[in-house]
Each structure stands twice: as structure tokens, then as C-alpha cells.
Amino acid sequence: MLTKIDELKDRIEARKLLINAKLVELRADARHEAAGIRDKLSASLSELETTLHDGWDNVNDSVRAKLDAWLARD
């Protein structure tokens, strides 16, 4: 049975895959708007990595709330 953390991790990993795929697509786009979107997506992934700096084994209620907010925002 999946725990809440396992389910959250799966949702986060799925979103990361989508963002990374979008970044690959945007790298081929030379428009100015694409650069802004790339920057936003890269910053979002950076924020995620900062939130998870202690790893999934150390996710507490505060980190879980930040991760839920990250999922809702992006």
C-alpha cells in the first residue's frame, strides 16, 4: 500500500518529467518568450530541489506542504 509520501513522491516525479520534457522542447525554440518560460521552469525545478535537499526520508509536514504548493502552482 502506498503511503501519503509515496503518492506525493510519484506526483512530484511525474511533474518533474513533464517539466524536463517541456524544457527540452523549449531549448529548440529561439523566441524571447521561450527563454522566459525556460527560466521559469528551471527556477521551479531549482525550488523543488531546495525543498527536497534533505531527501524523501526526511519529509515532514512543513516540507509536504511546500511540495503540495509546488504541485498546485506549476
Q: Which pLDDT score is estimated for 30?
A: 85
| Residue closest to 67 by CA, chosen among 3, 1, 4 | 4
pLDDT in tens, 42-65: 999 999 999 999 999 999 999 999
Q: Which pLDDT score is estimated for 3?
A: 87
Cα–Cα distance, 52 to 35 (Å, whole number): 26
pTM: 0.87
What residues does each domain of the chain span? 20-49+64-69
What does the pLDDT average to over 14-33?
Answer: 93
3-state secondary structure of 60: coil
